[in-house]
Amino acid sequence: MKTPFLAAATAFAIVALAGMAVIPMLQILKFGQTVRFDGPKRHLKKMGTPTMGGIMIIPAIAISTLLFYQGSSYATAAVLSTIGFGLVGFVDDYIKVVRKRPLGLRASQKLLFQIILSILLALFGSGVFPGTTWVFFPFVRKGVDLGLIYIPFTIFVILGTVNSVNLTDGLDGLVSGISAIVGFAYTVIYFFLGLQDLALFSAALSGACLGFLLYNHYPAKVFMGDTGSLGIGGAISALAVLGGTQFYLALIGFIFIVETFSVILQVIYFRFTGKRIFRMSPLHHHFELSGWSEVKVVLVFWTVAALSALAGIGAFLSTEVF
């Protein structure tokens, strides 16, 4: 575990040091967060907090991975996925913050770029993973060949993951903490699976997120913006696809799935009944509006994320796929 530890420590140090210069720069440039007026009123005080902090996270993941990896195409693809989705988020943030267009990229534009990147990652995954279209199922001792449905299924997983991480990014430290936990889980899994470069990439993801948490915990001094949330989504997607563990992501990234389904259920229920299931979606806002403090919501969600990550690790180790 020495090399993954070094990758994590390096990524942590890069973000921790970068924050000292980048956050003041974002303040000077007035790259401040806009806040929804229909959301929890306590969030209005966050208006103007520097955003686009993902510009610290993504380079830290890339640099620390490339410093220690053994030239594996797995790690290269994972880094490119992180950068690619992060760039989509950066353009979206730039339009919102610099061009002062609150909606950023049009939904159709953002989706188009995400689909292109998802197709590329899915095609790469099908070409390099042993057995090409094989994946692992929790508690199943042998891999399963998905055959023709591998590509569309994997594209769906990537798009769902990237946008789930983006939806979850709504409270101070929520996504950075959960992503650090997810990265740790994948580090353990890929260490035992023998995919050392993916293990160090996931460790770098954890380290970068923990470094960012120094500035992103409540009350946040900086937000990651879509640059960070989409970039992290691209990183987690790559970890799932390149190791054939798409189905494990349902356990390891359980919180992301719950947050997304809360939005889907809210929309469907409202369209059919004109009423809402939750006070507000995604789910973390429901608990806020129910009287929970922001810190309590984040700590509870971190706890659930840790338990689900442990369940994912346990499911993997119990299958003896390695």
Give dist(CA 148, CA 8) in Å, integer: 37
CB atoms within 10 A of CB 319: 16
Q: Residue 217 burial by CB count (10 A; 0-12/13-18/19+): exposed, middle or buried?
A: middle
Amino acid 128: pLDDT:
56
pLDDT surpassing 80 at residue 129: no
pLDDT surpassing 50 at residue 183: yes
Tens-place pLDDT, residues 66-103 = 999 888 888 999 999 999 999 999 999 999 888 777 77
User: What are the two backbone dihedrals, phi and then psi, of residue 243, each rounded to the nearest 5 degrees?
Assistant: -105, 5
Q: Which domain holds residue 255?
A: 2-319
Instruction: Say what the alpha-carbon torsion angle 182, 90, 34, 215 is, to the nearest 10 degrees.
Output: 50
| DSSP conformational letter for 220 | P
How many domains does the chain divide into? 1
For β-strands 144-145 and 134-135, DSSP reports them as antiparallel
pLDDT surpassing 60 at residue 177: yes
Give dist(CA 233, CA 249) in Å, integer: 12
Reported as a pLDDT band with limits 50, 70 and 90, residue 322 is very low
Tens-place pLDDT, residues 134-172 = 898 888 767 888 988 999 999 999 999 999 999 999 899
Give dist(CA 296, CA 259) in Å, integer: 16
| DSSP conformational letter for 296 | H
